[in-house]
């Protein structure tokens, strides 16, 4: 099982969340399923999302896509997103 952890800072969580939710179908098509979503306890605009990955190649293509960059920009992502693939040992 491979998982993907994404961390980024957003301008406003309450504006970011509806854009993130609306992108659900695109994540599903790429074989990316949300496991959990967290915010830093001291800064709700610091967002961490953990996903299960069905296909690493498709997930990487999704991460590299112009669509994801545009969606993140529209959602108010301010920092460079950190993408970390995790493997269970």
The pLDDT of residue 38 is 98
Give the model confidence (pLDDT) of 30-76 as tens digits.
Answer: 999 999 999 999 999 999 999 999 999 999 999 999 999 999 999 99
Alpha-carbon span 10 to 73, nearest angstrom? 9
* CATH number of the CATH domain containing 15: 3.30.70.100
Helix 66-75 and helix 13-22, axial crossing angle in degrees, nearest 10: 150
Q: Which domain holds residue 6?
A: 2-87
When divided into structural domains, the chain yields a total of 1
Residue 18: its pLDDT value, please? Answer: 98
């Amino acid at each position: 099982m491979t998982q993907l952890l994404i961390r980024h800072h957003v301008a406003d969580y309450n504006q970011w969340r509806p854009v993130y939710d609306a992108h659900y179908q695109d994540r599903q098509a790429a074989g990316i399923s949300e496991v959990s979503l967290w915010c830093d306890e001291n800064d709700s605009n610091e967002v961490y999302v953990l996903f299960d990955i069905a296909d690493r190649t498709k997930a990487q293509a999704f991460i590299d896509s112009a669509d994801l960059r545009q969606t993140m920009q529209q959602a108010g992502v301010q920092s460079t997103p950190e993408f970390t693939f995790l493997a269970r040992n």
